[in-house]
Structure formats: structure tokens, C-alpha cells
Chain A
Amino acid sequence: EAGVVQSPRYKIIEKKQPVAFWCNPISGHNTLYWYRQNLGQGPELLIRYENEEAVDDSQLPKDRFSAERLKGVDSTLKIQPAELGDSAVYLCASSLEVRTGAFFGQGTRLTVV
């Protein structure tokens, strides 16, 4: 069975440009997460979905970040416009529920120059 799939793996963009990340979770996993991981730090939750509903987006910078999970399966995370401080690894994860532990994708390493 395929794990969590993310694309692209790497992205380099100039500041003020838009960027989008895509995630396909494990089949049957209702819960989907987007995390941001800065160098030398643990992942920080940006948003959590239960099916197609965003149930926790308290840490999502809503002025520039947006996310969607249409039909409760795939998800897209967008940044517009990107800033230098957005350089990080963006991780997608999925789980059956919050208390069962999550399966992570390999992440997208974003560099904003």
C-alpha cells in the first residue's frame, strides 16, 4: 500500500511568488495534517482536517496561507505571496484518528530567495 505522497519534493521560488504543495493521504485515513518544520525544530501543526472539514487551523497564517481538501481525500496547501521566512519543510501526514498516530510523507522542502 502506498504511503502518504507529497509533491513536489523540492521547490525554489522568489519572494512574493505563489507556491502550492499537494498531498495524497493513505486511503481510508480521514484525518489529514499539514505541518511546517524549520531546521533543527520539531514539526508545527498548520492545519488539521477531519474529512473535508478544517477542524484546527489556529496556527495557519491566514493572510497568506490557504488550504483545501476537496472531497475529503487529496489536499493542497498554498502560500501567496511567499516570504523569506516561509523557507522550511512542509510535511503532510494522515491518520485514522488523532490518537492513533500519523503517517508522514517525505515533505516538500521550500526555499524562498
Chain B
Amino acid sequence: EAGVAQSPRYKIIEKRQSVAFWCNPISGHATLYWYQQILGQGPKLLIQFQNNGVVDDSQLPKDRFSAERLKGVDSTLKIQPAKLEDSAVYLCASSPGLAGGSDTQYFGPGTRLTVL
């Protein structure tokens, strides 16, 4: 079974530029998560989808971050415009069950973003 795929793996941009990340979850997984992990910290949930609907986006900085999950499968996370403090690893995860359950989350390899 293929794991969670993410691209790109690395991205370097200058502040005020835009960037987009892509995630393809494990086939059949209903729930998809985007996390931000700053160096030395634990992952912080940004947004959670169940199929193609948003379950929670309370920690997403909506003035600059946006996300969508097309047809309940792939997802993109966009930052526009980027700030220096957005430098982090962006992790995508998926789980088979519905949001609110106790499923294991399977993480992708992450995208390391550096904002100069």
C-alpha cells in the first residue's frame, strides 16, 4: 500500500512570495490533515478535512493560508504572501476513519519550507 505522498520536498522562497504544497493521501482514507512543524516543536494542526469538507481550521491563519481538498482525495495548501515565521516543515497526514475517531494518522515525508 502506497503511503502519503507530498511534493515538493523542499522549497526556498523570499518573503511576500506565494507557495503551494500538494498532498495525496493513502487511497480510501477519509480524513486528511495539514500540520506545521517548526524546528524544535511538535506538529501543529492547521486544517483537517473529512472527505472534501473542512472539520477544523481554527488554527489556520486565514489571512494568508488557504487549503482545499479536491473531490475528497488530493489536497493543496497555499501560503500567500509568505512571512519569515512560516519557515517550517509542512506535514500532511491521513487516517482511514471519520474525524473525531481514534484512528492512527499516517504522515507523509513533509515539505521543508524556508522563507528568506
- Check if A and B associate: no
The chain A residues found within 8 Å of chain B, CB to CB, are: none
The chain B residues found within 8 Å of chain A, CB to CB, are: none
